[in-house]
Amino acid sequence: EAQVTQNPRYLITVTGKKLTVTCSQNMNHEYMSWYRQDPGLGLRQIYYSMNVEVTDKGDVPEGYKVSRKEKRNFPLILESPSPNQTSLYFCASSLSTQGDSPLHFGNGTRLTVT
């Protein structure tokens, strides 16, 4: 089944403890992206990647890192999480970076930083 898989679905951690949220897609998609969703603020883009080894900042990149060493994987790294990074995170991918290419979303990762 074609899908975007995020892990874990739920994560509770403490301030400063490095963590990684994984994202994998099995559709050979070029474009991948991370979003965070907070009440009243909608979906905000953190980072995106247009292909292997090509990444760029979205609107809220501070405190996050990403890498795209393989086409299928796009992990989100929080080197030193803080409580303001408590949020619902979504990974998404699309076949290409062209305008007529729909995004496919994962089921989300709910992160709590205490």
Partner 1 sequence: DAKTTQPPSMDCAEGRAANLPCNHSTISGNEYVYWYRQIHSQGPQYIIHGLKNNETNEMASLIITEDRKSSTLILPHATLRDTAVYYCIVRGTYYGGATNKLIFGTGTLLAVQP
Task: Pick the closer one to partner 1 by CB: 18 or 92.
Answer: 92
At closest approach, how far in Å is the CB of 42 from partner 1? 4
d(Cα 38, Cα 71) in Å, to the nearest integer? 28
Q: Does 61 bind partner 1 (CB under 8 A)?
A: no
Q: Which residues, including other chains, have CB under 8 Å from residue 78's CB and lie 6 or more apart?
A: 18, 19, 20, 21, 63, 64, 65, 85
- What part of residues 14-43 is at the interface with partner 1 (CB under 8 A)? 31, 33, 35, 37, 40-43
Q: Does 64 bind partner 1 (CB under 8 A)?
A: no
Residue the block writes with tokens 């729909």: 102
* Residue 85-104 contact track with partner 1, rule CB under 8 A, x = bound: ---x-x-x----xxxxxxxx
Determine which residue in the list 58, 65, 72, 73 makes contact with partner 1, applying CB under 8 A. Answer: 58
Within 10 angstroms of residue 29's Cβ, the number of other Cβ atoms is: 22
Residue the block writes with tokens 């559709």: 27
Q: Does 74 bind partner 1 (CB under 8 A)?
A: no
